[in-house]
Each structure stands twice: as structure tokens, then as C-alpha cells.
Amino acid sequence: MRRWWEVSNSLLLSETCKFKLNPTEEQKKILKELFSTYRSMVEECLKSAISMNITSRKRLHESIYGELRRKFRDYPSHYIYTAITVALGMYKSYRRLSRKRSNIKPPSIEWLKAVLLDDTHLFWFNWGSLKIATHKGHLIILFRLHEHAEKFKDWQVKGSRLVKDGDEYYLHVTFKKVVEEEEHEGLLGIDVNEKSIDLAVIKPDKVRFVKIDISETKYIRDRYFKKRQSIQRKTRGGSKS
């Protein structure tokens, strides 16, 4: 995912890169315990937010932090901070959706598969290894660099998530980079039609027209639509003997 923010005359580019971690068996055990505890933290925060209708980070922190700190005293306190952030995001999203539709179910942690990490307190990123704070001290977990990651060598680390997918663990790192905004002369006109995309590239010294044929797209979409309908009818009706 890539995002842009304007910073004075520059632009801040933000992009996330995924790394597959290679923890040892002992580290996997610790990570499993960490995920289980983090889910409990988020669940407690979410229950508190829902029961007291809290949307303020300050209020939720005041209502739940002390209790969670006593309950999970072996874990770094910043896990509680990020659990509050996750729970608030879930509850605010539920409130927004429930205003538009009446059949929205209350949020739950059933599908929570990520631990939000604080970039200055919970993890330290190195090229080829992750250092993470846990209830068993700091772990250094190795991972293999891939070709796509090379583009981020001169970027800054903005934040991270630890993600569990089955028995595998991944690190999703968000990098940021400030780039200078460039001034360009000319205009680009885009006209999207059913059978084509027409471009007009207008520069001070020349004008160029480009036509991209997409006429086959409609027929491909229709074929797959009919195939889905056929499959759905068969699955709804069950197999006939």
C-alpha cells in the first residue's frame, strides 16, 4: 500500500513491505503466547469501549490501563498502548458502519491476527533480523530479504505489525521517505469509455493522443459473471443423484 502526504514543498511517501520471519521453535512458542495475550488485551479494551461508549483514547486509557498493567505485568506496557489503539479503531469503525446499516454485528477479536508494534519501544528493525520486546525479554528473529525490499534501503521505518497466518509469522513494515515535488508542464486528459481509454497528452511543444483498446474486457467480465451464477446455482441446489 502506498500513500502520499504533502510536507511543505515536498511529499512524504509511505509504503508497506512484508517479510516472512524464521523463528526458532522456542521463539514460536513465545510468539504464540504473545499473540494470545495481546488478543486478551484488545478484547478487554474493546469491551470497555463498547460498554461505556468510549471513542476518546484518553478516556479509554484512564478506564482500562491500570487494570491491564496489573493483569499483564510481565509484558511491556506499550503493548497495552497499541491494544487501546486497535480496540478504538475497531469500535469507531463499527459506529460508522452502524449509522449506515442496521444489521452490523458488534466488533469482536475473532479474526484478529496482528500485533501492532510501537516503532520506538517494541521493535527494532535491521536488514535481515527483527529485535522485539516480549514477556521473555528481547528476541532476535531472522528473516530473509527479498528483491522488492531493496528499494527501501534508504527509507526510514515508520511503524510495523506482527502478523500470524496459520503457523507462519510475518513482519509488515511501513517505510517512509520524503521526496521533492517536481513541477511538470502540460496536461493529461483521460476519457474512459466502454470499449476504450482515450488519453490526450498536451505539452507546450506537442500534443499526443493515445487510444487503449479494452473492448474485450466487457465480454471477459460477462463470461465470468455467468460462470459464477452457474456455480452458485449448483452449490445452492446441492448435487443431484
> Which residues contact residue 134 at a Cβ distance below 8 angstroms, ignoring those fewer than 6 apart?
30, 31, 34, 75, 76
pLDDT by residue for the chain (241 residues), tens only, comes to 555 555 455 788 899 999 999 999 999 999 999 999 999 999 999 999 999 999 999 999 999 999 999 999 999 999 999 999 999 999 999 999 998 888 888 888 888 999 999 767 899 999 999 999 999 999 999 999 999 999 999 999 988 999 999 999 999 999 999 887 777 778 888 998 888 899 998 888 888 899 888 888 877 877 888 888 888 777 766 544 4
- Confirm whether pTM is higher than 0.85: no
Length of the chain: 241
Place of cell 514477556: 135
CA distance 162 to 171: 5
**C-alpha angle 108-158-154 in degrees, rounded to nearest 5:** 145
Domain ranges of the chain: 2-179, 187-235
